[in-house]
Amino acid sequence: MAMLQLVIAFLLAIELAAGSRLLKSTSNPSICETIVQGYGYPCLQDTVTTEDGFVLGMQRIPHGINSNMDNSERDPVLLLHGLLQGAATFVMNTPSQSLAFILADQGYDVWLGNTRGSDASLGHISLSNQDKEFWNWSFEEHGKYDLLAMLQLIYNTTGSRSHFIGYSQGTTIGLVGLTQPKVTSLLSSVVLLNPVAFLKNITPPFTIALAHSYLEKLNDFLRLMMAGNNAYINRTRFPYYLQFLPQSTSTKNLALYTQMIRTGGFDWYDYGSPADNMKYYNQTTPPAIDFSTYPPNLPLLLVTGGEDGLADVPDVQRLLDSLVNCNVTHVFRSECGHADFVWGTNAHTDVYIDVANFLKSIPK
Ligand SMILES: *[C@@H]1O[C@H](CO)[C@@H](O)[C@H](O)[C@H]1NC(C)=O
Ligand SMILES: *[C@@H]1O[C@H](CO)[C@@H](O)[C@H](O)[C@H]1NC(C)=O
Ligand SMILES: *[C@@H]1O[C@H](CO)[C@@H](O)[C@H](O)[C@H]1NC(C)=O
Ligand SMILES: *[C@@H]1O[C@H](CO)[C@@H](O)[C@H](O)[C@H]1NC(C)=O
Ligand SMILES: *[C@@H]1O[C@H](CO)[C@@H](O)[C@H](O)[C@H]1NC(C)=O
């Protein structure tokens, strides 16, 4: 108990320190060269600039290993990684186990996003990533600006709206994006793997790992990623994963997570004083994310795990209850933990088959 109180005090300190860079990695941002092309897949790179000036790198696997860039129509799919990660998340296991390769081989045009602050997205039209102002954002800006820019680039390049698949923080970003009409107009479906909206019931080991990750300890980063029981992770691959992880985020982003843990809600960022909140929201406390604005017909798939210590069962239930007016399909995998969904050696049989069936069910 004393430990937990210490952690909560520590989390509050993080909230107060919001506004700088967290974790500096030095990995090569080009996963095309370091991973994708090595397996024989085509890989293209592009950049897109957000409305607030951030220059984001994207990678694209336009088709599978055994097909050419012919005229057949390929629906674009945007994959978005979790906290302290980059696009590598979806290509770090073998091609037959990794979501990006599997979807490319099934005939999709696979786009990989990298949120601002991650290795491939450290540019800005006027700020340097050494500036404090560069790191003045949270997952709310990922959802309002980064996601929009990625979807616009895909639309401009292919002429199609995208399927969106988010993992962990990628789902939180998607849930913020769904409040934005400009974003939803560019989506044809949404898949949320381990959706994170409420953190009321996350387990203490996870909270402690989150607090420690602020101290930039690599082992605690791994513990964070592994929240809950992850029976299907191949631990001999950890040294390989650590070539691509962890990647930077902002302390303001972690502050927003600690706000969620503290309040139990899924609210917009709390500027800290009634006067400042008034300035941004016309009320003294931050409003909750409004699920009622979500488009009712947009197909949503939530895949959740019974052993997930982060997108835990009661918090996911609360999200499902909040989405009653949406077109939701829910698949529950009782045996899966948080990391199993992307790095588990079982993910291609336990999770990605559901994803593929869902995508196939979407009317053109
Ligand atoms: C961060 O942005 C907020 C507005 O969103 C602004 O009030 C604040 O001064 C900014 N802080 C820094 C360090 O740029
Ligand atoms: C997409 O095209 C529109 C219209 O030509 C243009 O205004 C916009 O800047 C483009 N956006 C991206 C991200 O390519
Ligand atoms: C686990 O990882 C090691 C090292 O990459 C690899 O040799 C082995 O085949 C992997 N096992 C499974 C079940 O994927
Ligand atoms: C601010 O809130 C008050 C009271 O709820 C409302 O009357 C007013 O129209 C709001 N102002 C803006 C700019 O939304
Ligand atoms: C709901 O989503 C499913 C795909 O999961 C789709 O087939 C169906 O048309 C959608 N329903 C509505 C009312 O749009």
- Predicted local confidence at residue 176, as pLDDT: 98
Asked whether 345 lines ligand 3 (CB < 6 A), one says yes
pLDDT digit string (tens) for the chain, length 364 residues: 344 454 555 555 555 555 577 655 555 668 999 999 999 999 999 999 999 999 999 999 999 998 766 656 899 999 999 988 999 999 999 999 999 999 999 999 999 999 999 999 999 999 999 999 999 999 999 999 999 999 999 999 999 999 999 999 999 999 999 999 999 999 999 999 999 999 888 766 666 666 655 555 555 566 666 666 777 888 888 888 888 888 888 888 988 988 888 889 999 999 999 999 999 999 999 999 999 999 999 999 999 999 888 888 999 999 999 999 999 999 999 998 888 889 899 999 889 999 999 999 998 7
Closest C-alpha residue for ligand 1 atom 8: 136
Distances (CA, A) of 316 to 138, 197, 199, 322, 337: 22, 8, 9, 10, 13
Three-class secondary structure of residue 228 per DSSP: strand
Q: What is the number of the ligand 5 atom nearest to the C-alpha of 363?
A: 7
- Predicted local confidence at residue 193, as pLDDT: 96
Q: What is the number of the ligand 2 atom nearest to the C-alpha of 156?
A: 1
Residue of 121, 338, 348, 350 marked active site: 338
Closest C-alpha residue for ligand 3 atom 1: 234
Asked whether 234 lines ligand 3 (CB < 6 A), one says yes
The pLDDT tens digits of the residues spanning 139-165 come to 999 999 999 999 999 999 999 999 999
> pTM value?
0.92
- Predicted local confidence at residue 238, as pLDDT: 83
Of 60, 325, 327, nearest to 188 (Cα)?
Answer: 327
Distances (CA, A) of 18 to 15, 133, 254, 268: 5, 11, 8, 15
The H-or-E segment that residue 338 falls in is none
- Predicted local confidence at residue 301, as pLDDT: 98
- For the CA of 236, the nearest ligand: 3
Q: What is the number of the ligand 2 atom nearest to the C-alpha of 153?
A: 13
Pairing of strands 21-22, 249-250: antiparallel
The pLDDT tens digits of the residues spanning 164-221 come to 999 999 999 999 999 999 999 999 999 999 999 998 887 666 666 666 555 555 555 6
Active site annotation includes 163: no
Pocket of ligand 1 (CB under 6 A): 19, 132-133, 136
**Spacing, Cα 236 to ligand 1 middle (Å):** 43
Residue of 119, 308, 312, 350 marked active site: 308
